[in-house]
Amino acid sequence: MVSAAEQLAANLNFSALAKAEELKKRIWFTLGALLVYRLGTYIPLPGIDPSQWEQIFRTQAGGILGMFNMFAGGGIHRMAIFALNIMPYISASIIIQLLTTVSPTLENLKKEGEQGRKVINQYTRYLTVVLSVFQAYGISVGLEGAGSVVSDPGWMFRISTVITLTGGTMFLMWLGEQITARGIGNGISLIILAGIVAELPSAIAGMLELGRQGAMSTGLILVIIVMSIAVIAFIVFMERAQRRLLIQYPKRQVGNRMFEGQTSHLPLKLNTSGVIPPIFASSLLLLPTTVANLNAGQGPEWLSIITTQLGHGRPLFLLFYISMIVFFAFFYTAIVFNPTETADNLKKHGGFIPGIRPGERTAEYIDHVLSRITVVGAAYLAIVCLIPEILISYASVPFYFGGTSLLIVVSVTMDTVAQIQGYLLAHQYEGLIKKSKLRGRRR
């Protein structure tokens, strides 16, 4: 028998969207904010020669710098004011979340609820400023040492670059928070998504141009297209996959009435961490190598060796990349899902898992099941991100067809669509309630 919620979900259409004024405002606000972000990626840094930088970028676009450019929505290629994008904020979030597991002070703040989260968010903002200043200064020094890119090198250029790039990152951080609060979806994820999607047409055109010139065979282009479609289908399937734990509620008596026992399910997503592990792993790999790539050939020899080994397809890069994806898959799952808290809530409401004693035993069982499915989820993330990375290395495929970019695009799109459906569902429920009240008054 189809439930009322399922019936409403099936009836969601564009006419419902046209009537949902609040949802339309949120969508227009989100689109406007993303447009502002895209405009900022075309405003170049003051004091640099774009043509000279274009030549240098092309020689290093096949390494980490090209991957950074993907996350920056082309901001690195154009050396724009949003060149750092939102990556310092993501790096700061990683560090703060790691510290909450070892610092009693931060752990207590996390348990304080909304007020504690505000304090932690403020710490994250402060650390974002520090990381942005560090990376911006490294970029300014790297640009000065990259030849004739900078027209007037010196401390004035370095200070102006640090202020501009740091200000750009802080503005994007604020913009992402505004999208989350007043728009649709997660603002930070949507900013990264917008950067990737905006560069897709040029990446496709570049790939077809390589095919026309004979640098890339027609068979390889077809393989890339088929692989991209297969990866997207695989991502959609795995992101929707979940393990459902049967929950039973005993019979209960309210007054003189006896209510039958009910059954429900506790859904555990196969990939609870979502798109966070690849983004975190990419962010941490970009942090130490960005400056090294810009300052190539001028640093110590050991730094050049490490930078070379961290190139795409290299064993060291793949080892670090996969290790960090697996680590963050388990780490972030442990942050967002607390088995002990879930077990306590079930016990308070009289729910139990058949054959499992309520309380501590239930928490252990949920943790055991969650750990097992997280192994599968982490393996799925590793496969999706690893195979395209190898293809990128050996077939010179654009970064935008890599597993990380496809995973971000598909996952963020699915989450955003789910939020839109939730708003439409709530709007239709409100409409049904209003109609029933009007009928009651007429009677």
Distance CA 8, CA 422 (A): 11
pLDDT at 10: 44
For residue 256, being part of any structural domain is answered with yes
Task: Report residue 211 CA to chain centroid gap.
Answer: 32
**Number of residues that make up the chain:** 443
Q: Are 389 and 321 in contact (CB under 8 A)?
A: yes
Distance CA 170, CA 342 (A): 36
Closest CA to 263 of 243, 248, 252: 248
Q: Are 287 and 351 in contact (CB under 8 A)?
A: no
How would DSSP label each residue in 84-108?
TTTHHHHHHHHHHHHHHTT-HHHHH
What is the mean pLDDT of the segment spanning 30-35? 92
pTM of the model: 0.77
> Which of 31-35, 89-93, 289-293, 412-416: highest mean pLDDT?
31-35
Q: Are 353 and 362 in contact (CB under 8 A)?
A: yes
Distance CA 304, CA 112 (A): 46
3-state secondary structure of 263: strand
The domain tally of the chain equals 1
> How big, in percent rounded to 5, are the helix, strand and coil portions of the chain?
75, 5, 20
Distance CA 73, CA 19 (A): 34
For residue 211, being part of any structural domain is answered with no
For residue 54, being part of any structural domain is answered with yes
For residue 443, being part of any structural domain is answered with no
b (16+ CB within 10 A) / e for 17-36 = eeebeebeebbebbeebbee
For residue 204, being part of any structural domain is answered with no
Neighbours of 408 (CB within 10 A): 25
For residue 32, being part of any structural domain is answered with yes
341 membership: H or E segment, kind and range: helix 339-348
- Structural domain of residue 370, as residue ranges? 4-199+218-437
Per residue in 241-253, pLDDT (tens digit) is: 888 888 887 766 6
For residue 237, being part of any structural domain is answered with yes
Confidence of residue 126 (pLDDT cuts 50, 70, 90): very high
Q: Are 188 and 90 in contact (CB under 8 A)?
A: yes
Distance CA 253, CA 416 (A): 42
For residue 442, being part of any structural domain is answered with no
Tell me what the pLDDT averaged over the chain comes to. 78
Confidence of residue 35 (pLDDT cuts 50, 70, 90): very high
| CATH of residue 266 | 1.10.3370.10
Identify residue 356 by its one-letter amino acid code.
I
